[in-house]
Structure 1
Amino acid sequence: MVQRFRFDLKATDGRARTGVIATPRGEIRTPAFMPVGTAGTVKAMLPEQVRATGADIVLGNTYHLMLRPTAERIARLGGLHRFMNWDRPILTDSGGFQVMSLAELRKLSEKGVQFRSHIDGSRHELTPERSMEIQRLLGSDIVMCFDECPALPADEARVAESMRLSMRWAARSKEAFGDRPGHALFGIQQGGVTQELRAESAEALTAIGFDGYAIGGLAVGEGQEAMFGVLEYAPDMLPEGRPRYLMGVGKPDDIVGAVARGVDMMDCVLPTRSGRTGQAWTRRGQVNIKNARHADDPRPLDENCTCPACRHYSRAYLHHVFRAGEMISGMLLTWHNLHYFQSLMAGMRDAIAEGRFDGWQAQFHSDRAQGDIEPL
């Protein structure tokens, strides 16, 4: 008999939570940060390196994979896990956000979205039913409902209309998903920054019933203050015994603030994208390795970090290979950033389990306030 998806809440400290999501492909420790593997790869990293940073799960992207190489081709080749050589859990997003932000000539209707590919202009249609079919072909462990996400700021009438359409699509997604033991379907709460709309959305999703619940429609331009304002109430509107996933977040202080407000899972391209553009995230804040101050610096990015970039290479070398356009630059900085993000999650999990999350959080902010080490 296939093991069913399960969430065990182990401890709470204030509103912060730590637990374990059990799936047939392995456990996901929460709070969890999911590296983004948009096109079947976490950029500049091998799968075993991603795992070595502490990641329990990665994210794949329905929109990108349906266009290239296509979900049907991935299914013929044994599914996304085999295709990308990652044997642990994978979450796939529904494609809705990318259709709205990347695709050309979109046409939105009750049925779904018709659009042209940003790659070659070919015509496609994405509906709740087609999104569920693609994610089934990919074989992902956690499947996201198909939703619409308007960019903020938007007027309340537009946000309400979009949220209610997403709730109708959520019901269709649930029906199309069917009964798939060992696989989970997450609903996505919408409603912008309006508490009443968020409550209406949470009520609709809870009535449909999902294995987990995402908080969508944030980190889309509203700013941290507005996002935290929504997180003061939104997570508590969702069932306590199910994972809560904040989509598309984010910077380290966004992540810590979200966990403090009851979020269990998040994802963001930031650590990988930053790594390719010469930005390193450390416990003392952000380091821009492009800056000339690093050219003669024999010290590591962070003397307390155990990642390969910090153990074996100097700031001077990282500065040099970035300036020289060498591929190893993106590889080392990405590894460092993912290692830092996973260390952040591990630190929070331990602190919540031991009832010292407030102290941990204070130290996190104190370290970041120091800024980078002084130049030589």
Structure 2
Amino acid sequence: MGPPRYVLLSYDAEAEFNGEDGYEETWATCADTENLFGDPPRPARGRYELLGCAVEGELSTALARARAEGSAPLGSFALETLDKKGERVDWWPWHLEDVRILGDRPCARDLSLRDITVEASESEDNGSDYPQCPPLSPGYRLLSAEEAPWGTCRDLAHVRHAPQPEPTEPPVRLLGCSPSGALQVALNAGEEVLGHAKVLRLDAHGRTVQPAVEGELTAWIPSARGTGLIDLTLEPWSERPPTGAAEVWDLWWKGRPSVPNLWARCGPEGREFWLSTALENRLHGRPDDPSGAVYHLDGRHITDERGFFCASGEAVNGPGGYFGCGLDALNDCLRGRWGAEPPFTLVWHDADLARTCLGVTPHAGYRPLTFEELLGFLAERRVDVRLA
């Protein structure tokens, strides 16, 4: 039947939260799973009217692009509520994410201003359903995700859509499980409540690759995969791993990659999950290379942002290596203790592919980085990028 692909551990949320060691017990090894993977539903998108806008910065640039092309991605932005003196009311602005500009028109109340129509998702971190302005407020200050000024708007209107029913997902099935420990005792005693459990993905050598899912064991039946084996049913509490995890875990089946660019076999979702797997398996305690080191970035497969971060992780830390999964994470890595510390040189081979692809094909309403923006970000942090 081959080595087990998953291990089932006892789970105690309180003990894990308190950082206790040794509370986990192995309950079973499992040959495979069913219904494990599932992409979370996309955040509900709505249409918003930004009324009476005076625009500046990147918002002005995106608005011009929308007029020329019919619509334009903008990324995320925040609305900072102002009081009657023009000072912000709350410390935490109200955010819209994956914004796409659909069009604009002159404001009926002031022809020097614009009414802008956008499609976007509300951030899960918003503290309210709507950013309410106090009496005599001039409206909102518009800010980029990095808090760069994008102008102001006098009012916000939202055309709300009817709520969609929550999708139902089948429980996870753990197949061909060999029970042990307290789980075996509970099964022998005929107990109906089997307990809380955590599932981890293994490689062919039995080493943990990554946590998979947590939940409640609710049922079991004898397994068709062998005498003494059982199939378990688990109702997840946590999010299931995305479908892209399946291809990544298959590529890590023989252990940490020993050759570069295995990530290039993955689609966009797989590349994104590859970065989380690389982070989970990063080599702790490895000292940074001395400042002034030279790293070689293989650019043959960098067709999107995820590809850049997959490739840069391997350039610094070898196959399967991690060195950031976005600009914020990259900025943290550049502060040291992640394999390299500036100043250093990054020789970017086959850079023309990234120059052509980066920032060209947005998904949803997010505007990805352009090649030039990425080079500028690295240069500001004392990374000498040499294009080859």
Q: Which range, TM-score by smaller chain?
A: under 0.3
Which structure has more helix as a fraction of its residues? Answer: 1
Q: Name the one with the larger strand percent.
A: 2
TM-score calculated relative to the size of structure 1: 0.23
Instruction: Please tell me whether Structure 1 or Structure 2 has the larger radius of gyration of its CA atoms.
Output: 2
TM normalised by structure 2 equals 0.22
